[in-house]
Structure formats: C-alpha cells, structure tokens
Amino acid sequence: MARKKYPENPAPEMENAGPTPEQARSEAPTEKIDYRAGEARAEAAAESAQTELELAKTREQIGRHAENEAHPDGQTAAKELGGDFKDQVEKDGTISLSAEQRRGADQAAERFSADVRFSPPSLAIGQKVATEYDSRTRSFATRSRIEKLPDGKKVFIAKNYPSAVIHRLADAFGNWLSGSKMAKAITNKEWKRRYEEKSRVPTIASSDARTVITPFLKNVNAADYFSFNHEIKDLGALEELKHDGLEAKIEMAGRIVEELGKIHAEGAAWGEFIPDNVIITEGGKPVITESEVAYYKDVPLPEQKARDLRDFIISAAGDLSKGEKLADYAGFAQAMIDRHPDPEVRREVVRLAKEKPVWWRKALRVVHELPRLGVGGKEYDQIISAIAAIEV
C-alpha cells in the first residue's frame, strides 16, 4: 500500500481578479484554514498509513502473531506447541518465564555459546540436529541443543555460531547458481528476526543475537521418519511411528502439505520447504521449522508458494524412495498437489515444472540443487516430469 502524500501548506485556490487575501479572510472567517491543525491531521494520517503498511508486511511474512490477538484460539494453538511451558503462554503467543527460569535459560545459552564459539563451519557433512533419538538429519547453518532448566522443563536452543556465515555465503551462491531464488539470513539480526517472526513454535525471549530459544517438543524429524524410521533403534516418545509403512507416510506427507497450505493462506511463503525442516510431534502433528530462509524480493508470491510445494514433493519423494522404495512418482505428486487448498498454487507448481532451465544451470545443479533436495539427477528429472504431466 503506497503511503499517501499530503501538502505541507494546503490553501484554497484564488482567482487573480478576486479580493485580496486579507479581504477574503475578513469577509469569510468561517473558511479560515488552521495550518497547524492541517499539518497535525496530515501527520496523523501518514502515521496511520505507515502503521497499516507495517501491519500488512507482518501479515505477509507470517500473519500468525497478529491473529493470536484477534482470535481467541490463537493462544490455544500456541499452547499446543508450548511443551513444558504450555501454561506460561501469553495471549500474544509468547512465553513468560519466572526469574529463576530466565536465569536458567540465559546460563544455558551462555554455555552453548562458549562451546561453539570456535567451531569450524559445516560445509560438507553438517551437524546433527538435537533430538532425543539418534537422528540422521544434519544442519549446516545452525547448531542446536536440548537443555533442562533448574525446574526440570526442557528448552530447545538454536545457535547461529560465528563461522556459520561461511556456509551461509556459500549456500547463497549455490542457490543463485541453481536458480532457487532464495537465501539464508546472513547477519545475526536478520537471522534472529526471521526465526522468531516465522516460528510456528512460541519463542522464549533471549538477549543474545545469535540465539533463539523455544520449548522442546518431543518429536521425530520428517526426513528421519520418511527414510529411516525402520532403521533407527529407538524413537523415544514417538516409537509408534517406527512401524509405519508407505501408505501411512504418504498420509503424513499430505498433512504436511495441508500445514503448508495454512501458511500460504496467511499470505506468506516459507523457503526451502523440505522434510528436514519439518518435525512430527506427539499425536502425529506435523510442525514446520527452520525458518531462516527467504525468497528473493522480486519473486512473485504465487511463485514462492509453488516453489515451496515443488521442493517438498521432490525431496519427500526422494526420502520415500530411500525408505519405502517409492516408484510411483506421478501418483505421489498428484496426491500432494491435491492436498494443497489453493488452486492458484496447484496451477503454478505445474507451470514451474514445465519450465526449461538454461543449460548451464541444469549442468551445475549437481553442485547444490540435487544435494539440497536429497535426490539424484535421474530421480529429479522423473519427479519433475511427473509434476509437469499433471492436469489442474
């Protein structure tokens, strides 16, 4: 929404042949203009317009925090993801800590900072994501840890460690090479802002610019679930997922697409939407995580949403191919597209699949795009062709 422009000194137009300004004011005192009042009204209107602009921007990015105050069930939704702190979730979706909990959280963050201060960048194999089971999922841009506060409540700490900037710059270049049109946050300030604004899990305030703290949720990473649930010995609180087969996993993938649809309905896209960035919590509820990626500003929103869906279809199909020997890529792609609630996004993802990349980007995708999505070149081509053949 464009900001309205207001004249600094509004004044009525007067014909040259008319009375002098002094005469006009004496003859028509009711039309006298209060310049200060006019300026005050202009400033108030401009301030109102700017406020509306900021609100619109916030809703575009994620929308959820504004809705928490507007809808009674917003706090309820946040409590569902509050973990040990569900009784401390405020109306705006944030978590209020006691003084003792605050000290414990700060001390845990400080210990973690000291431990990773001189860690080398993760460029090849990454670091394991903090879980209560033997996860196969790796993270390159952040380090994570599960900590227990003095009162026994658990928190999940994500740390933007200093040398991670090397990975972020390399990742940004790789995304440009492959035409992914997105990038991770480079600065600490932007990383934390994106993470906290987009997080579906309520956050716990931290003064450290490199740290984000959330309640710990018992979970299994979706990439682990799709690919390795039969191999991982102990899934802890979600052991029942260990025996799920292809049909159950396709249903879970559909639920994840529906969660993505909710974000898209709020007027936002996610960025790098792949199973590695989704967790499955108790009761089989998928929760979207890893919120530091954003698309380039010149990418239209419908295309951003379609890229979210396309990346998930490709990467989830690749994971299911590893874990369950999925071969029917066409059926899987059709099922996922059908689960997305927005017809425009369904049409756009098919259009994207039909696009032919320039030859050098196609040749270089092995460097970044294929590893990012966890598929081989032949597999990628088969899945893309399956999406492109869908009629919407």
pLDDT for 240 beyond 90: yes
Long-range contacts at 92-96 (CB < 8 A, ≥ 24 apart): 92/65, 92/68, 93/64, 93/65, 93/68, 93/202, 94/202, 94/203, 94/205, 95/202, 95/203, 95/204, 95/215
Tens digit of each residue's pLDDT (9 = 90 or more) over 20-73: 545 544 454 444 444 444 445 545 544 554 444 444 444 444 444 444 434 445
- Rounded Cα distance, 339 and 254, in Å: 6
Mean pLDDT of the chain: 85
Task: Give me the pLDDT at residue 64, please.
Answer: 46
Q: What is the mean pLDDT of residues 280-300?
A: 94
Which regions of the chain does DSSP assign to beta strands (E)? Answer: 127-128, 138-139, 143-148, 154-159, 182-184, 211-215, 219-221, 278-281, 285-288, 293-295
Tens digit of each residue's pLDDT (9 = 90 or more) over 124-139: 678 889 999 999 999 9
- Rounded Cα distance, 265 and 62, in Å: 10
Task: Give me the pLDDT at residue 163, please.
Answer: 87
Instruction: Please report, as a single letter, which amino acid is at residue 369.
Output: E
**Tokens 């194999």 label which residue?**
125
Task: Give me the pLDDT at residue 161, please.
Answer: 87
- Partner residues linked to 285 by β-bridges: 281
Tens digit of each residue's pLDDT (9 = 90 or more) over 66-124: 444 344 456 677 789 999 999 999 888 789 899 999 999 999 999 999 988 887 777 76
Using CB atoms within 10 Å of the CB of residue 20, give its burial: 0 to 12 exposed, 13 to 18 middle, 19+ buried: exposed
Task: Give me the pLDDT at residue 341, please.
Answer: 97
Tens digit of each residue's pLDDT (9 = 90 or more) over 142-179: 999 999 999 999 999 999 988 889 999 999 999 999 99
- Model's pTM, two decimal places? 0.81
The two three-digit tokens of residue 294, written as one number: 């954003």
Percentage above 90 pLDDT, the chain: 67
Q: pLDDT category, 19, cuts 50, 70, 90?
A: low
Q: How many CA atoms lie within 13 A of 227 on its CB side?
A: 17
Measure the CA dihedral 220/225/229/231, to 10°.
Answer: -100
Tens digit of each residue's pLDDT (9 = 90 or more) over 255-277: 999 999 999 999 999 999 999 99
Percentage above 70 pLDDT, the chain: 80
Domains and their CATH numbers in the chain: 62-388 (1.10.510)
- Rounded Cα distance, 106 and 85, in Å: 16
> Is residue 203 within 8 Å of 265, Cβ to Cβ?
no
Which residue in 319, 331, 94, 130 sits closest to 223, CA to CA? Answer: 319
Which range is least confidently modeled, 13-17, 112-116, 343-347?
Answer: 13-17
Residue 357 is given by DSSP the state P
- Rounded Cα distance, 99 and 89, in Å: 16
